[in-house]
């Protein structure tokens, strides 16, 4: 035998995940395996509007296009037009 293979199974789930990697060492020689996710990037699908009386918090629900396996960051801005302090 001059060569052999090592197969590492992966699971195709529905979660959007970061790239995963592992190291393998055989006979003192190292290699890396990398698992690339096949789900589309999670995007913002919708944001609800809200209207409240002064002194009451406004709540906006953000709906995403899929489920993430860990915390994600999204930028947001306030586009003020008629807000007075």
**Tens digits of residue pLDDT in 47-80:** 999 999 999 999 999 999 888 878 888 888 888 7
Name the residue range of residue 47's domain.
15-68
Render pLDDT for 12-33 as a digit per residue (tens, 0 to 9): 988 888 899 999 999 999 999 9
Of 52, 54, 49, 42, nearest in space to 79 by CA: 49
pLDDT of residue 83: 62
Handedness of CA 17, 18, 23, 24 (dihedral sign): positive
Domain total in the chain: 1
Tell me, yes or no, whether 78 lies in a domain: no
Tell me, yes or no, whether 8 lies in a domain: no
Tell me, yes or no, whether 83 lies in a domain: no
SS3 sequence of 20-42: EEEEEEECCEEEEEEECCCCCCC
Residue 46: pLDDT over 70:
yes
Q: Is the pTM of this model over 0.75?
A: no
Tell me, yes or no, whether 81 lies in a domain: no
- Please tell me the distance from the alpha carbon of residue 28 to that of residue 34, in angstroms, as a whole number: 20
Residue of higher predicted confidence among 68 and 37 = 37
């Amino acid at each position: 035998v001059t060569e052999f293979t090592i197969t590492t199974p992966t699971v195709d789930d529905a979660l959007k995940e970061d790239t995963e990697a592992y190291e393998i060492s055989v006979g003192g020689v190292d290699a890396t395996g990398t698992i690339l996710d096949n789900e589309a990037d999670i995007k913002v699908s919708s944001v609800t509007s809200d209207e409240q009386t002064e002194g009451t918090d406004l709540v906006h629900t953000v709906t995403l296009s899929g489920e993430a396996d860990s915390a994600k960051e999204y930028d947001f801005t306030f586009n003020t037009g008629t807000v007075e302090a």
